Amino acid sequence: MINEIQKDAESRMSKSVEALHGSFNRIRTGRAHPSILDAVRVEYYGAEMPVSQVANVNVEDARTLAVIPWEKSMVQKVEKAIMTADLGLNPATAGTVIRVPMPPLTEETRKGYIKQARSEAESARVAVRNVRRDANNEAKSLLKQKEITEDEERQAEDNIQKLTDRFIADIDKALEHKEHDLMQV
């Protein structure tokens, strides 16, 4: 019973950390990375699709992405979608290849991205703490129903707190790494 609560809490906390990593991937650093375009959607036969599902996205060099749509008719749509995605990117088309140069980050934009990263990390911390609260409430309800003893409930809360501490440390480490990446020139 208690093990199930702890496993569920651990699973939900790890999903919060995974979501944070996904959010961090969308925050642009000075280097080109295909995940920057993950949020860009293109209309493809009446459906909104991610760019990665209608084109190959490759890193051409440290500051340039090469986007090659699978269909020639999609080149203009993909280019327009990248331009309108509000990522601060200006793609250039050469035949069927769309090159997306990464503009160098100014000090001001770096600070803005760090602020955004800190906000995402705080949201992840809140999500982890919410999971802790839910798990502790489940343990308390088991105690009220007399399915577990007070000692078992206290032990469960201690284990859940250890899980929480571990995942918050992971979040802090990921934030520190992202800040380091953003501050590199």
Residue 185 has a pLDDT of 60
The whole-number pLDDT of residue 169 equals: 94
Model confidence pLDDT, tens digit, residues 116-141:
999 999 999 999 999 999 999 999 99
Task: Enter the pTM of the model.
Answer: 0.74
- The rounded distance, in Å, linking the Cα atoms of 83 and 97 is 15
Q: Pick from 101, 123, 145: which residue ends a domain?
A: 101
Write the CATH number for 21. Answer: 1.10.132.20
DSSP 131-166: HHHHHHHHHHHHHHTTSS-HHHHHHHHHHHHHHHHH
CA distance 171 to 85: 27
In 3-state terms, what secondary structure has residue 116? helix
Residues 110, 137 within the same domain? yes
Residues 173, 123 share a domain: yes
Rounded CA-CA distance 137/160 in Å is 11
Q: Identify whether residues 7 and 67 lie together within a single domain.
A: no
pLDDT at 161: 94
- 167 in the same domain as 133: yes
Same domain membership, residue 74 and residue 140: no
Q: Which residues of the chain have pLDDT under 50?
A: none
Residues 39 and 128 in one domain: no
**Residue the block writes with tokens 């080149």:** 75
- Domain total in the chain: 2
Shared domain for 115 and 156, answered yes or no, is yes
pLDDT at 53: 87
Q: Quick one: pLDDT at residue 83?
A: 86
Identify the domain containing residue 173 by its residue range. Answer: 2-26+106-183
